[in-house]
Amino acid sequence: MSATVNQLAGQLAGEPSPDGEAAREPIPALDGAVDALTRLVRADLDEVNRIIVANMDSEIALIPQLAGYIVASGGKRLRPMLLLGAAQLCGYEGQRHQGLAASVEFIHTATLLHDDVVDGSDLRRGKASANEVFGNKPSVLVGDFLFARAFLLMVADGSIDVLHILSRAAAVIAEGEVMQLAAANDIATGEETYLAVVRAKTAELFAAACEVGAVVADAGPAARAALAQYGRALGVAFQLVDDVLDYSARQARLGKAIGDDFREGKITLPAVLAIAAGDADERAFWKRCLEDLDQTPADLDHALVLMQRHGTLDQAMDRARGYGAEARAALAGFPASPVRQILLDIVDFCIDRDY
């Protein structure tokens, strides 16, 4: 293993880094439900982290450097944990799900790398984005590398069923990203288009992760469909909340940056609903800010006033709660168990979280 990768393996395992920095917790402190899920899948997750580190290694030093940077940057590992949890819910006791959970995290990470290049983002999870630190070019190429390695992990597992679910998901995610790009800076974007983007770019991988958990456990078609449905609805709720948080007063009070979507002219649900409810003056304001990207610093505040006036953040949260209820309902067919309860609590976490 390369030095970079050895060091990263230590960081993920909670060892102090060699340059004397404080020890990194392998998983950042999280709300109750995620803590519970993390404890539930702890042993598997350690192995997932080990597989992630081993499979992003390469003789080309820049690859583990860049991949390690984004992998260590403190994601919640929500998608791999959902896969592990779904497999447990279906009674799985083997180890195949570990490599596949790593594969799902690689697909997610590759998407993040390309996303940040496409959005020109300079921040990701509160630190400088990989493209900001290493440049756009290696970010595109290391994304490709991680994507290919994700498939190698699936191939090592050997299930064509799993390969089908995840390659289909990867194609749908890319479609969602293109759809989002085409809708960006277009205030005519309606709720339907917005939801189609969210289903494709976010919910598809949640659904695939949960369904793969059922597949490795050799669960029947009903359990597979139920877990895919759980993941899909949870994924939509997750993204809706993400989009609300980007305009959230609570976030602002916590000192977190808000308004990224606004500044980039991304048309998310809080804006879609405000545009639809607005009068001609308001539409002119949205057009100037989101289509023409002609903004002053005071415009974000005005956008928040309009969202408040029309109650669109609350409406978006209501939609998220609706999808949350759908996710919970999808698990109704599984007998009550601690795992099921944790997966139900995760729905609440995704909706009530403030990060």
**Residue in 24, 96, 114, 328 binding a copy of itself, rule: CB under 8 A:** 114
Applying CB under 8 A, the span of 1-9, 32-40, 170-178, 306-314 interacting with a copy of itself comes to 170-178
Taking the complex as a whole, how short is the minimal distance between the CB of residue 139 and a copy of itself, in angstroms?
A: 10
The per-residue DSSP string of 83-144 comes to HHHHHHHTT--SSHHHHHHHHHHHHHHHHHHHHHHHHT-SEETTEE-HHHHH-HHHHHHHHH
- Assigned token pair, 157: 């597992």
- Of 73, 121, 167, 308, the residue at the interface with a copy of itself (CB under 8 A) is 167
CA 149 to each of CA 3, 7, 47, 98, 129: distance values in angstroms, whole numbers, following the listed order: 20, 20, 17, 15, 21
Cα separation, 172 vs 279, whole angstroms: 36
Binding part of the chain for a copy of itself, among 59-67, 228-236, 255-263, 299-307 by CB under 8 A, reads: 59-67
For a copy of itself, the binding residue among 23, 43, 171, 188 (CB under 8 A) is: 171
Residue pair 265/291 in contact by the 8 Å Cβ criterion? yes
255 part of the interface to a copy of itself, by CB under 8 A: no
Q: Which of residues 84-113 bind a copy of itself (CB under 8 A)?
A: 110-111
Q: Of these, 128, 163, 277, 300, which contacts a copy of itself (CB under 8 A)? A: 163
Residue 170 is a binding residue for a copy of itself (CB under 8 A): yes
| Residue 69: Cβ within 10 Å count | 19
Q: How far is the CB of 291 from a copy of itself (least distance, A)?
A: 17
Q: What minimum distance in Å lies between the beta carbon of 114 and a copy of itself?
A: 5
> 71, 179, 198, 342: which one contacts a copy of itself (CB under 8 A)?
179
Residue 168 or 250 having the CB closest to a copy of itself:
168
Alpha-carbon span 105 to 328, nearest angstrom: 24
Residue 298 is a binding residue for a copy of itself (CB under 8 A): no
CB closer to a copy of itself, 61 vs 222: 61
Q: Are 206 and 166 in contact (CB under 8 A)?
A: no
Whose Cβ is closer to a copy of itself: residue 170's or residue 346's?
170
Taking CB under 8 A as the criterion, which residues in 180-209 touch a copy of itself? Answer: 181-182
CA–CA distance, 228 with 220 (Å, rounded to integer)? 12
Tell me which amino acid residue 183 is.
A
Q: Is 261 a binder of a copy of itself (CB under 8 A)?
A: no
For every residue of 164-231, which 3-state class applies, written as one string?
A: HHHHHHHHHHHHHHHHHHHHCCCCCCCHHHHHHHHHHHHHHHHHHHHHHHHHHCCCCHHHHHHHHHHH
8 A C-beta contact, residue 166 and residue 246: no
Among 30, 147, 245, 256, binds a copy of itself (CB under 8 A): 147
User: Which two three-digit tokens encode residue 312?
Assistant: 């669109």
- Pick out residues in 123-142 that bind a copy of itself (CB under 8 A): 137-138, 140-142
How many Cβ atoms from other residues are within 10 Å of residue 201's Cβ?
22
- Measured from the CB atom, is 63 or 347 closer to a copy of itself? 63
**What's the token pair of residue 59?**
């003789």
Q: Is residue 145 involved in binding a copy of itself (CB under 8 A)?
A: yes
Q: Does 291 bind a copy of itself (CB under 8 A)?
A: no
How near is the Cβ of 234 to a copy of itself at its closest, in Å? Answer: 22
In the complex with a copy of itself, the residue whose CB is nearer, 60 or 133, is 60
Q: Which residues bind a copy of itself (CB under 8 A)?
A: 58-63, 110-111, 114, 117-118, 137-138, 140-145, 147-149, 151-152, 154-155, 158, 160, 163-164, 167-168, 170-171, 173-175, 177-179, 181-182
